A = this chain, B = another copy of it.
Amino acid sequence: MEKLNLVSLPHFVSVENLSVEEVEALIKRAEYFKNGGATPRLTQPVYISNMFFEDSSRTHTSFEMAERKLGLTVIPFDPAHSSVNKGETLYDTSLIMDAVGVNIEVIRHSQNEYYQDLIHPKKHQHLNIGVINAGDGSGQHPSQCLLDMMTIHEHFGHFKGLKVAIVGDITNSRVAKSNMELLTRLGAEVYFSGPEYWYSSEYDKYGKYEKLDKLVPEMDVMMLLRVQHERHSGDPNEKSFDAKAYHEEYGINHKRYQELKPDTIIMHPGPINHDVELSGDLVESDKCMFTRQMQNGVFMRMAMIEVVLRGRKLGGLK
């Protein structure tokens, strides 16, 4: 029997309140699943539903996979055909999911902290359903953050003193903010690069902004962010967006790739804009962890769901 040292929570909406020990326990548990470790035996059926109000093939598919590997029963939910079209609130929709017997909702939604209503129902409200946040607006994306940590830990075995550059569209990235905060707490040194108009002084407390070419030969991790074209409509900087110029100035091309230290890794949350953040033919290069991140994501999501299973004593777990 493996020794469990797991946090158990009724909801998993953020990484902010996780201690360093809890993050490490989650990574350890995800690695255990990745190495073929047995999943907990559920003595009662557990019903889970994936409610993706924003598009995301990778996160959605990864959760679907994690849920089935844990032996959960997945109840399909299609926001496009739901009564949200008739003006129903997310609270009322959750009330229904709870009432029909769904135990956990995995939600992605464009509204920041959409989950506050769901996990802290007001007085006289009785909603009682687990919420796992799969991304809220420009807020958190805890599963992406934790799979990134797992991928770094898998490669280096530790975080202490690692130099990590976060490069690109920081303003619009859900994962950048969680990552800079958590990496700092885990003992890594954070740096920033990319277009200066996407940098903000609020990040100063986590690390400093540098030109990309200064960072390239020094970093252990190059964490590239996706240019989120779909979030920039109306942004004056976007009108003049020039993919070639971006790649030249802020992207990892072959020349910069050669200058990276031998053990350095490149990370990207996907979907990758080829020849913008990263030269297309480097997606499957040795240093690029893109597919490794996806692989690890399934196992980290299994660990996260298990935390909620235990937190709610579902499936007969304690």
Contacts and interface: CB of A to CB of B under 8 A. Distances in A.
A271 interface: yes
A87 to B, nearest CB: 7
A168 to B, nearest CB: 15
B100 A62 contact: yes
A274 B95 CA distance: 14
Contacts of A270: 83, 88, 92, 96
Interface string A273-309: 1100000010111000011101101100000000000
Contacts of A271: 83, 86-88, 92
A126 B92 contact: no
Given A65-B101, A98-B291, A230-B86, A80 B80 contact: yes
A295 B102 CA distance: 11
A298 B99 CA distance: 9
A126 B55 contact: no
A186 to B, nearest CB: 24
B55 A76 contact: no
B75 A57 contact: no
A47 B86 CA distance: 30
A27 to B, nearest CB: 18
A259 B186 CA distance: 60
A73 interface: yes
A272 B77 CA distance: 19
Given A75-B64, A273-B87, A96 B58 contact: yes
Interface of A: 45, 47, 49, 52, 55-58, 60-62, 64-65, 68-69, 73, 75-78, 80-89, 92-93, 95-102, 124-126, 229-230, 270-274, 281, 283-285, 290-292, 294-295, 297-298
* A-B CB proximity, top 4 nearest: A99-B294, A57-B82, A88-B271, A99-B291
